[in-house]
């Protein structure tokens, strides 16, 4: 049976870490979502290509979310040719779950302040709600684009009811404890030979070691 309220967390997950997992858990709890889908991007259009193969990033997500009944892996983007446009992914999910299901796209503030650069970004709010969380190094005060600021002003609500009771169209800012963890810092730490324990689950670290990932990351 399709859950009534689904959250979607897209990312490169290169690698997945506790910043992602805690973000998903906090948003699920605050907005009373019944399921969170982790959607690894194959070829993210907004940034440099990931260092790790899509299948390896998927494997790390699978290991990281194992045992949490709220969390589900959705690997549709790695099976689709071309860039991973979020609007296409959301439209495909919407077609599967039906018009009534509440869908919420989850993102950190660093992603949201660049949201106006996403392909057909305005259409995304016709398909889903958006939940934004603060992240160290980025705040919503950094929204510079006038069109995005206007949409944010019009759609931002403090009531969490729409996120389970209506299918799409609202934006919520969800307070979460700030975790200054990034995949970039994890890759750099591994390259430098430093431990990444307590930044990402042990199962992910085991996989990184087995596959010898990020050993040659260039620290820029």
Contact residues for 207 (Cβ-Cβ < 8 A; gap 6+): 56, 59, 60, 63, 213
- The minimum distance between CB 204 and ligand ATP, in angstroms, equals 13
Q: Does 179 bind ligand ATP (CB under 6 A)?
A: yes
Site residues (CB under 6 A) for ligand ATP, limited to 183-212 = 183-184
Residue with tokens 């990931």: 50
CA distance 10 to 41: 7
Sheet holding 5-11, edge to edge: 71-73, 35-40, 5-11, 102-108, 129-133, 171-174
CA distance 129 to 125: 6
Q: Does 133 bind ligand ATP (CB under 6 A)?
A: yes
DSSP string, 58-125: HHHHHHHHTT-TTEEE--GGGGSSS---HHHHHHHHHHHH-TTSEEEEEEEHHHHTTGGGSTTHHHHH
Quick one: which segment of 102-110, 114-122, 142-150, 206-214 binds ligand ATP (CB under 6 A)? Answer: 102-110
Quick one: which segment of 8-16, 85-93, 140-148, 154-162 binds ligand ATP (CB under 6 A)? Answer: 8-16
Residue with tokens 């596959």: 211
- The minimum distance between CB 122 and ligand ATP, in angstroms, equals 18
Within 13 A of 36's CA, how many CA atoms are on the CB side?
Answer: 28
Q: Does 132 bind ligand ATP (CB under 6 A)?
A: no
Q: Does 14 bind ligand ATP (CB under 6 A)?
A: yes
Quick one: which segment of 69-77, 117-125, 146-154, 177-185 binds ligand ATP (CB under 6 A)? Answer: 177-185
Quick one: which segment of 6-14, 68-76, 191-199, 211-219 binds ligand ATP (CB under 6 A)? Answer: 6-14
Q: Does 77 bind ligand ATP (CB under 6 A)?
A: no
In 3D, which of 131, 168, 166, 136 has the Cα closest to residue 28? 131
Which residue lies nearer to ligand ATP by CB, 23 or 36?
A: 23
Quick one: which segment of 13-21, 65-73, 118-126, 158-166 binds ligand ATP (CB under 6 A)? Answer: 13-21
Q: Does 93 bind ligand ATP (CB under 6 A)?
A: no
Question: Considering only residues 11, 162, 167, 201, which one is a binding residue for ligand ATP as defined by CB under 6 A?
Answer: 11
CA distance 111 to 216: 27
User: In this structure, how many other beta carbons lie within 10 angstroms of the beta carbon of residue 184?
Assistant: 12
Which residue lies nearer to ligand ATP by CB, 107 or 205?
A: 107
Binding stretches for ligand ATP (CB under 6 A): 11-14, 19-20, 23, 107-108, 110-111, 133, 135, 179, 181-184
């Amino acid at each position: 049976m399709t859950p009534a309220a689904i959250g979607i967390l897209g990312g490169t997950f290169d690698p997945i870490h506790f910043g992602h997992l805690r973000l998903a858990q906090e948003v699920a709890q605050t907005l009373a979502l019944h399921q969170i889908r982790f959607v690894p991007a194959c070829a993210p259009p907004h940034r440099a290509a990931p260092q790790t193969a899509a299948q390896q990033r998927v494997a790390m997500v699978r290991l990281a979310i194992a045992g949490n009944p709220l969390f589900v892996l959705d690997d549709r983007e790695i099976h689709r040719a071309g860039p991973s446009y979020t609007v296409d992914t959301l439209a495909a999910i919407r077609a599967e779950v039906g018009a009534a299901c509440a869908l919420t796209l989850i993102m950190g503030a660093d992603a949201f302040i660049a949201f106006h650069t996403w392909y057909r970004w305005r259409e995304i709010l016709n398909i889903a709600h958006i939940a934004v969380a603060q992240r160290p190094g980025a705040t919503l005060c950094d929204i510079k684009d006038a069109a995005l600021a206007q949409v944010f002003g019009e759609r931002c609500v403090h009531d969490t009811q729409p996120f389970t009771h209506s299918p799409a169209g609202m934006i919520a800012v969800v307070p979460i404890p700030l975790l200054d963890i990034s995949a970039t810092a994890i890759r750099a730490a591994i390259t430098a030979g430093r431990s990444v324990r307590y930044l990402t689950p042990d199962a992910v670290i085991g996989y990184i070691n087995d596959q010898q990932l990020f050993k040659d990351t260039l620290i820029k």
